[in-house]
Structure 1
Amino acid sequence: MAKKVVATLKKEGGVTYAKVIKAVRSEKTGAYTFKEEMVPSQMVKEVLKK
């Protein structure tokens, strides 16, 4: 059976994480792709500024 990733991220006293999904446009084809990252909640704004 597969383990759920969410269960390992939710520990008391641990760091809370957020999934950030960004749409990135390809210069070659012009199509959009999506990049997903798991980052600590405090760093969400910093990641989105990039």
Structure 2
Amino acid sequence: MAKKVVATLKTKDNGKAFAKVIRAVKSPKTGAYTFKEEMVPVDDVQNALKA
């Protein structure tokens, strides 16, 4: 059974201001996909996905 991950990234000033961005990146050497995770501010999610 899968576990639900519960993480709190809120502070009193900003509430839920961060989002977790997970990207699949293909390795040029092996062709296998790996996943890169990063925490970005909600306002910059679209910029992070374009990069």
RMSD: 1.7
- Structure 2 partner of 1:38: 39
Matching residue's letter, 1:13: D
- Structure 1 partner of 2:25: 24
Larger helix share, 1 or 2: 1
Residue 42 of structure 1, CA deviation: 0.2
- Stretches of structure 2 that go unaligned for 5 or more consecutive residues are 1-6
4+ long deviations beyond 3 Å: none
- Stretches of structure 1 that go unaligned for 5 or more consecutive residues are 1-5
Residue 25 of structure 1, CA deviation: 0.1
- Structure 2 partner of 1:14: 14
TM-score, normalised by the number of residues in structure 2: 0.77
TM-score, normalised by the number of residues in structure 1: 0.78
Percent pairwise identity: 57
Paired positions, count:
45
